[in-house]
Structure 1
Amino acid sequence: MPTIKEIALKAGVSYSTVSRALNDKKGVKPQVREKILKLAKEMNYFPHYQAKALVQKRVGVIAVVIPRASEFAFQNPFYSHILLGLSQQANKHDYRLMLSINEKSGYASLYQRRMVDGVVVVANRTDDKNIDELVEMQVPTVVVPGFGDQKGPDVASVNSENHQSVKRAVTYLISLGHTKIAFILGRMNSAYSTERLAAYKAALAEQGIDFKSKYIRESDFSKTDGFNLMGKLLDMEEPPTSVICINDSVTPGALHQIRSRGLKIPQDLSVVAIGCSDVLELHQPPLTTVRTRVVEIGKAAAKSLIQIMEKGSPLEKRIIIPSDLIIRESTGVYKGRI
């Protein structure tokens, strides 16, 4: 592997001039910089990142921790969208991403071993003690979605707007005549679930409709659970006339269950999906959606973490990215009202 000294010798300049040119520093004439960069490319030069880290006091790597099994993470569009946002923002600041899925040894160890400069925990659980450890050890950290209104460690977070968007969706279903509204949520150790359940209850209360827990189901956020729980809802003595699905994995499972029974959307059952996948638009009929801007969440998380790593603190401790209610053809007037 060629060294900076070899490039300097071939270019006829000093070692420090090559170093400044390769690191995009001032003090190098444009024609000299161009010559050095061309030589570096021809000689297949790559910077020694361990040495660079010692000089710059940074590794140039951000850990993206996903505390879920790889099979789940790679099948859920949420993670690919958030990684896209994270990588776009990280690349702008010359950081690379290191993906850690279902980490067993604790998230802080990645930082302690000088493998990364900071950590983004994606889809954190509110009872995850590894996050407490990150805070205690003062590791630069951002969590997505964070802890919502629940008490948690003092850590920077980025979340989608969950309350008003879901409240609007439930209110819209009620305006169509639906009162038996099911909600397939995730586990209650996720801020996504607790915040959206609170919004669901608030919308019912505002319209004078009693909350019935039998229409609430907790999933593991998977397609399989979406299928099974939708089946249990449809088998009830008083099945729901509409359903809200919490993410892009639960929704396809629920839709498969509905189709397998020969039911029509929205004639027999209205469906609202929460998610970020463009596939929701392609479903027939197109799905009414609470669209979460997950790429923007990823960008905001990376930006916030870089501020912590380079400045010591973020501009905002808790960032909320707006969500949108998009009304399409999967929701209709309750036929009992017609």
Structure 2
Amino acid sequence: MATVDRSPAAGSGKPAPAGARRTTLAVVAHLAGVSVATVSKVVNGRSDVAPGTRSRVQELLRRHEYVAPVARRAQPAPLPTIEVQFAGDLKPYVAEALGGVVDAAGELGVAVVVSQPDRGPRWARDLVSTGRQALIAVTSVYTPAYLDALTQAGLPLVVLDPQHQPHSDVNSVGPTNFAGGFAATQHLLGLGHHRIAYLGGPAVAAANQARVHGYRAAMEAKKVPVPGAYVRSGEFTYETGMLGAAALLDLAEPPTAVFAANDEIALGVVETARTRGLRVPEDLSVVGFDDTLLARVASPPLTTVRQPLREMGGVALRTALRLAVGEKLESHHVELATELVVRASTAPI
């Protein structure tokens, strides 16, 4: 049997005082002389209630300030979560690539967690247990043990601009490094330079190899010889640019132009030239690679090969999502086109 509120307010047609029990459907049904089901129909706007009954019930609901219980709100489904890892310092190159991942995640309603690599014994399984659905590794140097851990955990991997030649079954996103190296060298040749040097990153890095091959291909196409001392490797750092430029400028026949494997190296070249009293581009033309913020704010602004870092980040995020839901990809490796951006660090010889 329904419990009826027999307080004075319930029988008087007046609202219950503050602190009184909340008016229920049973109370209104009792006062109106109808069933609880009928009152419920009125509350929910059902049409199968006689007009007179509806008016009487609505009046009682109003007088007794009936408030429907708050419906249990459905909890939103958790957002898909992608882990993004990078090693070392957060350099402009990495920051722009991460920005592309985050932009795409915002558009697609995806959560992104950015971290430094953790190589504990259960690192991959720990990522899965905390809800990660795929991993994007930025310029990661992966090992067989790294790949095995991800395979055993069932965590898909996308490498963004891999340092080494991707394994046949590793999914990756990168730029057209060879084409970029070719375009940079063609630009310098078109300005009349023949003594063009190349300052690169690690000799074993896939990106460095492709860029130096593009450089050599452009030189060979114009039948311009490349002295062995004109090609140097190091790290993708400012210091490599400074030291490499010093060695090049000490040669008996120094270059009149330098193609650097990234913007940091290029800026190191510019600084060494400055300390030697050389002007860029009047005495030495310099081309970089990446087109990060560094290239745009340099003095002079740097001619460089733009690799679409933000777009690459977006493609990596979308690829990771496809892998997370078990989609089959058309290709394990995606390359996005580079573009030469001419600024003030190059000039005719």
Root mean square deviation of aligned Cα: 2.5
Residue 61 of structure 1 is matched in structure 2 by: 81
Residue 274 of structure 1 is matched in structure 2 by: 289
Q: Which has the larger radius of gyration?
A: 2
Residue 120 of structure 1 is matched in structure 2 by: 136
2:69 corresponds, among 7, 12, 16, to 12
Does the 8 Å contact 1:305/1:314 carry over to 2? Answer: no
TM-aligned CA deviation for residue 306 of structure 1: 0.6
TM-aligned CA deviation for residue 118 of structure 1: 0.9
TM-aligned CA deviation for residue 246 of structure 1: 1.8
Does the 8 Å contact 2:237/2:264 carry over to 1? Answer: yes
User: Residue 181 in 1 paired to residue 196 in 2?
Assistant: yes
TM-aligned CA deviation for residue 84 of structure 1: 0.7
Mapping 1:43-122, distance limit 5 Å: 60-66=80-86, 68-69=87-88, 73-74=89-90, 76-105=91-120, 108-122=124-138
**Deviation larger for 173-182 or 294-303:** 173-182
User: Residue 309 in 1 paired to residue 324 in 2?
Assistant: yes
Does the 8 Å contact 2:270/2:280 carry over to 1? Answer: no
TM-aligned CA deviation for residue 13 of structure 1: 4.2
**Pair 313,135 (structure 1): closer, same or farther in 2 beyond 3 Å:** farther
TM-aligned CA deviation for residue 115 of structure 1: 4.8
2:148 corresponds, among 120, 133, 138, to 133
Mapping 1:166-245, distance limit 5 Å: 166-245=181-260
Does the 8 Å contact 1:307/1:315 carry over to 2? Answer: no
**Pair 111,146 (structure 1): closer, same or farther in 2 beyond 3 Å:** same
1:253 corresponds, among 246, 264, 268, to 268
**Pair 165,60 (structure 1): closer, same or farther in 2 beyond 3 Å:** same
Please tell me the residue identity of whatever aligns with 2:135.
V
Does the 8 Å contact 2:162/2:207 carry over to 1? Answer: no
Does the 8 Å contact 1:165/1:323 carry over to 2? Answer: yes
**Pair 160,131 (structure 1): closer, same or farther in 2 beyond 3 Å:** farther
Identity %: 26
Residue 39 of structure 1 is matched in structure 2 by: none
Q: Which runs of 5+ in 1 are unaligned?
A: 1-9, 24-51, 54-58
TM-aligned CA deviation for residue 182 of structure 1: 1.5
Q: Which runs of 4+ in 1 moved over 4 A?
A: none
Please tell me the residue identity of whatever aligns with 1:62.
I
Please tell me the residue identity of whatever aligns with 2:136.
V
Q: TM-score, normalised by structure 1?
A: 0.75
Residue 34 of structure 2 is matched in structure 1 by: none
Alpha-carbon distance between aligned partners in 1 of 2:212 and 2:70, rounded to the nearest angstrom: 66
Alpha-carbon distance between aligned partners in 2 of 1:135 and 1:225, rounded to the nearest angstrom: 34
Alpha-carbon distance between aligned partners in 2 of 1:189 and 1:12, rounded to the nearest angstrom: 67
TM-aligned CA deviation for residue 63 of structure 1: 1.4
Alpha-carbon distance between aligned partners in 2 of 1:321 and 1:308, rounded to the nearest angstrom: 19
Alpha-carbon distance between aligned partners in 1 of 2:252 and 2:339, rounded to the nearest angstrom: 33
1:159 corresponds, among 146, 162, 174, to 174
Alpha-carbon distance between aligned partners in 1 of 2:198 and 2:338, rounded to the nearest angstrom: 18
**Pair 306,330 (structure 1): closer, same or farther in 2 beyond 3 Å:** same
Please tell me the residue identity of whatever aligns with 2:246.
G
Instruction: Give secondary structure in 2 for the equivalent of 1:62.
Output: strand
Any idea what the Cα deviations from partners look like across 1:243-265, whole Å, max 9, x if unmatched?
11222322222221111111101
TM-aligned CA deviation for residue 168 of structure 1: 1.6
Instruction: Give secondary structure in 1 for the equivalent of 2:184.
Output: helix
Alpha-carbon distance between aligned partners in 2 of 1:171 and 1:268, rounded to the nearest angstrom: 19
**Deviation larger for 104-113 or 324-333:** 104-113
Any idea what the Cα deviations from partners look like across 1:18-37, whole Å, max 9, x if unmatched?
11xx52xxxxxxxxxxxxxx
Q: TM-score, normalised by structure 2?
A: 0.73
**Pair 151,60 (structure 1): closer, same or farther in 2 beyond 3 Å:** closer
Q: How many residues align?
A: 281
Alpha-carbon distance between aligned partners in 2 of 1:144 and 1:210, rounded to the nearest angstrom: 34
TM-aligned CA deviation for residue 316 of structure 1: 4.4
